[in-house]
């Protein structure tokens, strides 16, 4: 079972790194949004640093969303999904491997890139640290929630928009607690750990619900 898991994980990482893979797409999209917003808002550093965490979080959410429709659809189209059903490992393991690979090539780079993009929105050093921490624990929740939508829309030709409509409402709590944790680190009345721990809890819940839900959607949606 572990062998199947690592085989699939490595395959997806390889695919993301190859030409036409989704490897850097999310990161570039993230960069685009975060770069555009200071131009649109004007050079008001106070304003930027106040809404900086929100900008980064919204950009991270959209960047996670942008490649999600291909998570299972690509395998559905070329028949690989049929192959993935033939393993000794249950579909939950398949989902877990694919989601982990997706997070490693989208969520993790976003968290790592956050300090550099934080410069663009005039974040203070502790704000940057808080962004890294919240994105690191918050983006798994986004990916797992999105995986359920990706599994549900895997057989639709243009499932991207439906996917976004389906999963965005469920991503809102993650967004709220992610931004409030980052803001709490910048000062304020709530301690950082309160919203941060809720964010961790959201990720853990999403990991369970998302894995089981996406596997169930793949089983029934054939």
- Which residues bind to another protein, rule: CB under 8 A? 3-4, 6-8, 10-11, 14-15, 18-21, 77-80, 82-88, 155, 220-222
Minimum distance from residue 13 beta carbon to another protein (Å): 11
Cβ(145)–Cβ(61) below 8 Å: no
DSSP state of 20: T
Minimum distance from residue 206 beta carbon to another protein (Å): 24
State the Cα–Cα distance between residues 93 and 212, nearest whole angstrom. 9
Cβ(101)–Cβ(12) below 8 Å: yes
Minimum distance from residue 138 beta carbon to another protein (Å): 30
Minimum distance from residue 212 beta carbon to another protein (Å): 18
- The residue (of 151 and 171) whose beta carbon lies closer to another protein is 151
- The residue (of 20 and 169) whose beta carbon lies closer to another protein is 20
Would you state the structure tokens that stand for residue 9, as one six-digit string? 């994980």
Nearest partner of 114 among 42, 178, 187, 207, judged by Cα: 178
Minimum distance from residue 159 beta carbon to another protein (Å): 11
Nearest partner of 214 among 169, 178, 167, judged by Cα: 167
- The residue (of 11 and 50) whose beta carbon lies closer to another protein is 11
- The residue (of 200 and 218) whose beta carbon lies closer to another protein is 218
Cβ(96)–Cβ(211) below 8 Å: yes
- The residue (of 20 and 125) whose beta carbon lies closer to another protein is 20
């Amino acid at each position: 079972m572990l062998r199947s898991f690592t085989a699939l994980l490595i395959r997806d990482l390889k695919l993301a790194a190859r030409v036409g893979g989704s490897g850097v797409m999310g990161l570039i999209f993230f960069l685009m949004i975060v770069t555009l917003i200071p131009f649109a808002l004007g050079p008001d550093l106070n304003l930027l640093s106040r809404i900086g965490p929100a900008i980064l979080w919204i950009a991270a959410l959209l960047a996670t969303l942008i490649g999600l429709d291909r998570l299972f659809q690509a395998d559905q189209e070329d028949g690989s999904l049929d192959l993935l059903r033939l393993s000794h490992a249950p579909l939950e393991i398949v989902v877990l491997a694919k989601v982990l690979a997706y997070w490693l090539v989208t969520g993790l780079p976003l968290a790592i890139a956050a300090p550099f993009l934080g410069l663009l929105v005039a974040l203070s050093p502790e704000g940057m640290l808080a962004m890294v921490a919240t994105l690191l624990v918050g983006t798994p929740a986004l990916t797992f929630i999105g995986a359920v939508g990706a599994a549900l829309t895997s057989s639709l030709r243009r499932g991207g928009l439906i996917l976004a409509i389906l999963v965005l409402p469920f991503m809102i709590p993650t967004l709220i607690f992610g931004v409030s944790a980052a803001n709490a680190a910048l000062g304020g009345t709530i301690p950082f750990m309160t919203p941060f721990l809720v964010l961790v809890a959201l990720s853990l819940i999403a990991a369970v619900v998302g894995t089981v839900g996406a596997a169930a959607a793949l089983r029934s949606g054939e």
